Structure 1
């Protein structure tokens, strides 16, 4: 009987870990959307700090493969990851990014004790102020660890699947600011 109880506890712990990892990954993507849908976020500096709360101190963020190696590179540790995001959001972009939304699919999460790996495919449309648009898809191979009782991202690893231009005007109605969580 004790063996069955321990087996059930282990299975519940794995399910809870998978659910938390799923929430962390979805939150990361949510915070990366443009316009940022998080209620009360005043600026990109605050957005970046909310993203960094999801990461372990020694985490790695990297773009890999022939297309993403040169575009994203590798950032090791929270300070380097902060600089990576500051470079993306910190500059006044011309053309400005008006819309960017992440759609996650093909999820696989593997929990082994206090460590886990997760794979996803994501697609994201981008719309710029000059009328250009594109659809981007990437594979994600991310690592997670339970640190002081909380799951954190230890590795974000993204590889390009494709980038495809979209016709101007393919999306006609989209918000300047999100009001979802008000």
Structure 2
């Protein structure tokens, strides 16, 4: 009897799922940078839980509301970069840990924030493909700063 861990079809299916999840996370991060709320919504299950300390825990509508307000009212520019994915697939469920590098810039004040954190995500395979059903951001380092005429002023906020 073939070992399920070495069965070629099982291994290929797991690799395809991992690839799909990587593309999903890339779509999500790119949609965040573009403040594309429809694309953000499409990355999640309807019952998704978002846990972003110190902001708190909320559902998908809370995340969409935040991005809708930013897109409509601010010229803020964001860059989300997810790296070093550790993905574990078990059937129609998966978990992943990502290292996120994040930078945001507000040209109105010349202010910026640099953030290093881990994302701990859970995914569910749906009829429409893999979707994020839970995400938790764990900040590791936060630096806030301002671009001033006499140079950059920055403060280590947390970490």
TM value normalised by structure 2: 0.81
Q: 2:44 aligns with which of 39, 55, 75?
A: 55
Greater relative contact order (Cα < 8 A, sep 6+): 1
Superposition map of 1:1-182 within 5 A: 3=2, 7-33=7-33, 36=34, 47-63=36-52, 68-69=53-54, 71=55, 73-76=56-59, 81-90=60-69, 93=73, 96-128=74-106, 129-148=108-127, 150-166=129-145, 168=147
- In the TM superposition, residue 84 of structure 1 has moved relative to its aligned partner by 2.9
Paired residue secondary structure (1:18): helix
Retained in 1: the 8 A contact 2:40–2:64? no
Retained in 1: the 8 A contact 2:109–2:146? no
The structure with more helix, counted as a fraction of residues: 1
Retained in 2: the 8 A contact 1:97–1:126? no
Retained in 1: the 8 A contact 2:86–2:97? yes
Q: Which runs of 5+ in 2 are unaligned?
A: 153-159
TM value normalised by structure 1: 0.71
Change (3 A) 1:131 1:26: same
Residues 26-81 of structure 1: CA deviation (Å, up to 9, x unaligned): 11000001xx1xxxxxxx5xx21221111112211111xxxx23x2x1123xxxx1
Paired residue secondary structure (1:104): strand
Q: Which runs of 5+ in 1 are unaligned?
A: 37-43, 172-182
Retained in 1: the 8 A contact 2:102–2:116? yes
- In the TM superposition, residue 167 of structure 1 has moved relative to its aligned partner by 5.1
The structure with more strand, counted as a fraction of residues: 2
